[in-house]
Homo-oligomer: A and B are copies of this chain.
Amino acid sequence: MSAATDERIDAYPSRLGGPATITERHDPVVHGSGDGPLDADVVQSYADDGFIVLEGLLAPSEAAELNAEIDRLAADPAVRGRPEAIVEPDSDTLRSLFAVHDLEGPLGAIARDPRLVGVARQLLGSDVYVHQSRVNLKPAFRGKDFYWHSDFETWHTEDGMPSMRAVSCSVLLTDNTSWNGPLLTIAGSHRWYVSCEGETPANHHEQSLRRQEVGTPDDASLAELYRRGRIAQCLGPAGTVVFFECNIMHGSNSNITPLPRRNVFQVYNSVENALEQPFAAPAPRPHYIANRRFDPI
């Protein structure tokens, strides 16, 4: 669907040939009453900063079980050959594996775990489903950086997610320290929408998941978001769970240390925010990147 024939109202235009702009978000950050398992001050912190770090939400034994399952998958050449597997640009090492919420065993179970789903329901004010899930492996010694981006900008333009009513949940499976390439956010940046220059090429996901170019914010916008906010690192031992808002600007530096960094990640979207046609891409992305079964968990 091209911009010219698309008569929908696009609250968050991007990649439509215009210049980069910073505009206020139109959606609430915390949807609904805000009632649920999190205390009010934690919800407020999420509203203010755009993320929360819940240390100890999972027991070490649970993190170990998930790690063992990922080791098993990463060692399997058949898994690395799947379309939902992304390997490092310079090697055959598994970097990400998508759609892990659909797998049998502990990876499927963690995506449906009431401790995580309860938080997502609280923040989104409705039933939720998994929009996307993956495991991320940042190897020791040669882990690449991942440049700043807003997930929502991609989900809106490429997947047709209409509104900012989704939350990402990252379960840390190794100790995340300040020196092994942890998640960096610009705290407060979720309140602003940065539109991107350029247009989405066909089959963009085939290269963007390895090294993103279109959908990358410009330097001036990033510097301005930083001026309005601050850099925050999401740190914690294995078993820590980080929730971050779909529009927060985030990324990570490289990892030269001997400690790999690993997490399992699922995006909960409100069932009231189901995907439509892409707002700025030639065709929807595959189902293993952007799930189109919207049944509540």
Which A residues form the contact surface with B (CB < 8 A)? 140-141, 145, 147-148, 177-179, 181, 184, 219, 222-223, 226, 231, 233, 251-259
Contacts and interface: CB of A to CB of B under 8 A. Distances in A.
Contact of A145 (B140, B178, B231, B256): B256
A253 B255 contact: yes
Nearest to A143: B253
Contact of A178 (B233, B256, B258): B233
B254 A145 contact: yes
Given A219-B258, A251-B256, A253-B253, 8 more contacts: A141-B219, A178-B178, A178-B179, A178-B233, A179-B233, A179-B253, A231-B257, A252-B256
Given A184-B179, A231-B179, A256 B141 contact: no
5 contacts: A145-B256, A148-B256, A177-B231, A179-B184, A184-B256
Contacts of A181: 253
A259 B253 CA distance: 13
B141 A222 contact: yes
Contact of A258 (B141, B179, B226): B226
**Residue of A141, A181, A254 most packed against chain B (CB within 10 A):** A254
A253 B251 contact: no
Contacts of A177: 231
Nearest to A177: B231
A259 B251 CA distance: 15
Nearest to A178: B178
A255 B184 CA distance: 11
A140 B147 CA distance: 12
A253 B231 CA distance: 16
Contacts of A226: 257-259
**Residue of A181, A226, A253 most packed against chain B (CB within 10 A):** A253
